[in-house]
Amino acid sequence: MERLNRALERVSHGLTWVALAFLGFMMVAITVDVVARALIGSAVPGLFEMTEMSMVMVVFMGLGATLVDDGHIRVTLMTDALPLHLSRGLAALGWILAALTFLLLAWPATQEAAYSFSIREFRWGYFHVPVWWAKIATAFGLWFAALQALVHAAMIATGRIAPDPRESASH
């Protein structure tokens, strides 16, 4: 299981770079658009749509890093007060529920991605920007997050990770 966990972390590391690239793109491209409008009086065609797609990529490619960095908010007020085996069990349950949520989103998102690809969906405007690839990335990011959350739950349940990362940080 630890091997699987490490493999997932490596994949999430790769996905994070994709997310960072799109975040950087948003910052630079929007600035370039403003400069282009000021200097040559013309907006960059398709940029509006690409900015929205970038946001999608930042969110769904950054999901893995968010779990690794403990970025999702949780309330550990009550569970912290419980004996370790109980708080461990509840934390594992919490992550199983997170995995369930990702699954609940991943399955319909996959249907949506398949439909979008089948019609080669694009966004309107002066310039046609294809969007089906971002819908595929959305579904992929969600499936990956579901798997990652399940493995995370298993790691906590078997005592390989502390139920609350803060405790491991303070040791």
Partner 1 sequence: ATSLKFDSYVTETAGPSWIDRWFLDELEKRSGGEVKVRRYWAGSLNKVGEHLGAVRDGTSEMTLISPGYYQAEVPVTRGLEWYFRVDRADTLQLVCRDVYEQFAPLRQEWEERHRCKVLYWTNWNYAPLVMREPITSIEDIKGKKIRGYGIATDVIQRLGGVAVPMAAGEVYQALERGVLDGVYGFDFVTAVAYKLHEIAPNFYDIGDGAHAPAVTVMNRGVFEGLSAANQQICTDLANELYGGKFTEIYDRVLTDYVKKALAEGARLQSLPEAEKAKARALVQPAETQQWVDTVATPAGIDGAAMQALIDAAIARHAPAGRLRRSVEIAAEL
Partner 2 sequence: MDITLITLLAVGLIFVLLAIGTPVFAALALSGAFGIIMSEDLSFLLSRLKSLPFSSAANYSLTVIPLFILMGAFAHQAQVGRRLFHVANKWVGHLPGGLAMAGILTSAGFAATSGSSVATAATVGAVAIPEMKRAGYDPRLAAGSVAAGGVLGVLIPPSVLLIFYAALTEVSAGKMLIAGFVPGILTTIVFMAGTAIVARHNIAARSPRAGWGERLRATGQAWQVLVLFLIVLGGIYLGLVTPTEAGAIGALAAFLMLVLSREGRRGLGGRLQESFRSTTTTTVMVLFTMIGAGIFSYFLTLAQVPQAVAEAIVGSGVPPLLVVGILLLLYIPLGMFLDAFSMMVITLPIMFPTVTGLGFDPIWFGILCVKMCEIGLITPPVGLNCFVIAGIDRDTPLSDVFRGALWFIAMEMVTVLILFFIPVITTWLPDTMMGR
* Residues engaged in binding partner 2 (CB under 8 A): 16, 19-20, 23-24, 26-31, 33-34, 38, 48, 51-56, 58-60, 62-63, 65-66, 69-80, 87, 90-91, 93-95, 97-98, 100-101, 104-105, 107-109, 111-112, 131, 134-135, 138, 142, 163-164, 166, 169-170
Nearer to partner 2 by C-beta: 3 or 77? 77
How large is the C-alpha radius of gyration of the chain? 20
Give the nearer residue to partner 1 in terms of CB position, either 65 or 129. 129
Number of residues that bind partner 1 (CB under 8 A): 15
| Residues β-bridged to residue 123 | 129
Nearest residue to 15 (alpha-carbon basis) of 141, 116, 153, 123 = 141
Going 78 to 82 to 88 to 92, the CA torsion angle's sign is negative
Site for partner 1 in 126-145 (CB under 8 A): 126
**Residue 121 near which of partner 2, partner 1, none (CB within 5-8 Å, type-dependent):** partner 1
Q: Which of residues 29-58 bind partner 1 (CB under 8 A)?
A: 37, 41-43, 48-49
State which residue, 27 or 84, has the beta carbon closest to partner 2. Answer: 27
The reply to whether 125 sits near partner 1 by the rule CB under 8 A is yes
Per partner kind, with CB cut-offs from 5 to 8 A, the member of partner 2, partner 1, none near residue 84 is none
Kindly state the smallest distance separating residue 84's Cβ from partner 2, in Å.
13
Question: Do 128 and 134 form a contact (C-beta atoms < 8 A)?
Answer: no
To 5 degrees, how large is the angle CA 80–CA 149–CA 170?
35
Residues that bind partner 1 (CB under 8 A): 37, 41-43, 48-49, 112, 119-126
